[in-house]
Amino acid sequence: MSTNLPKKALIAITSHSAKFYPDGGINGAFYTEILHPYLALTSAGFTVDLASETGTHTIDPYSLTSQFISGDDVAIVGDGEHPINKLLNGGVKKASSLIADDYGMFFASAGFASVYDYPTASVLQSVASDIWARGGVVAAVCHGGAIFPGVKDGKTGKSIVDGLELTGFSTEADKLAGVLDKIHDDGVLTTEESAVKAGGRYVAPPAPFDDFSVTSGRLVTGANPFSARSAAAAAIVAFEAL
């Protein structure tokens, strides 16, 4: 690695939480989409901060079910002293307190809630734009790509994903999850729609919930919660190649 970028990553977290699911449950940040990148990055020697636009967050209860939590994750979820849980319980920064120059990588975690606040999360968008402008890596998993239309390339004025291949939670997957009508009724875009709006060339996973990630130079994206590990690993490879 020849770059002088700091080996420090920012994992962005959605601030949004509201009644969302057909059963009346609330949405929020998806736990493993924070946990898995955190574990991968820290294991690779990165220092990691967590931040949301408002400094607040709610973990989506759905993300703590056995569909998503298994293996070693079960013990971590129940361990209040684990570093990720200590950060989540008191160490999530407000975006306006961040110094963008401190970071060499931006990683947008997600959850269905992200499509509601990431499109207008102007401070997080600015931090990601700054990291990109300095030659750093910008990554997202699942619905995290909802932030991309507002992450601009200072040279072109367009989104950093303009013309690049990327993936993310597909509109088909939103339909299969039973939430597509809710998203559209609320007047927000799906992640796939956001990618197209930003000028990106959306690539769907072979099947909606397959582990699938795409690297386009310094842009790395993962398709769904099951892609958080592979997207983080690919982001690390992209960073080390700078």
Note the pLDDT tens digit of each residue in 110-145.
999 999 999 999 999 999 999 999 999 999 999 999
Q: Cα separation of 13 and 54, whole Å?
A: 10
**220 domain residue, yes or no:** yes
The pLDDT value given to residue 89 = 97
Q: Cα separation of 103 and 111, whole Å?
A: 23
The pLDDT value given to residue 3 = 66
Chain-centroid distance, C-alpha 124:
11
Q: Cα separation of 80 and 86, whole Å?
A: 7
Q: pLDDT grade, residue 2 (50/70/90)?
A: very low
**151 domain residue, yes or no:** yes
Write out the residue range of the structural domain in which residue 128 sits.
8-240
**145 domain residue, yes or no:** yes
Note the pLDDT tens digit of each residue in 3-22.
699 999 999 999 999 999 99
Q: Where are the alpha helices (DSSP H) in the chain?
A: 31-43, 72-77, 83-88, 114-117, 122-133, 171-176, 180-185, 191-197, 228-240
**3 domain residue, yes or no:** no
Nearest alpha-carbon partner for 200 in 238, 155, 146: 146
The pLDDT value given to residue 40 = 99
CATH number, residue 86:
3.40.50.880
Domain count, the chain: 1
The pLDDT value given to residue 82 = 98
Q: Above 70 in pLDDT, residue 1?
A: no
**2 domain residue, yes or no:** no
- Residue 89, classified by CB atoms within 10 Å of its CB into exposed (0-12), middle (13-18) or buried (19+), is exposed
- Averaged over 227-239, what is the pLDDT? 99
Q: Taking the complete model, does pTM exceed 0.95, yes or no?
A: yes
CB 108 within 8 A of CB 141: yes
**1 domain residue, yes or no:** no
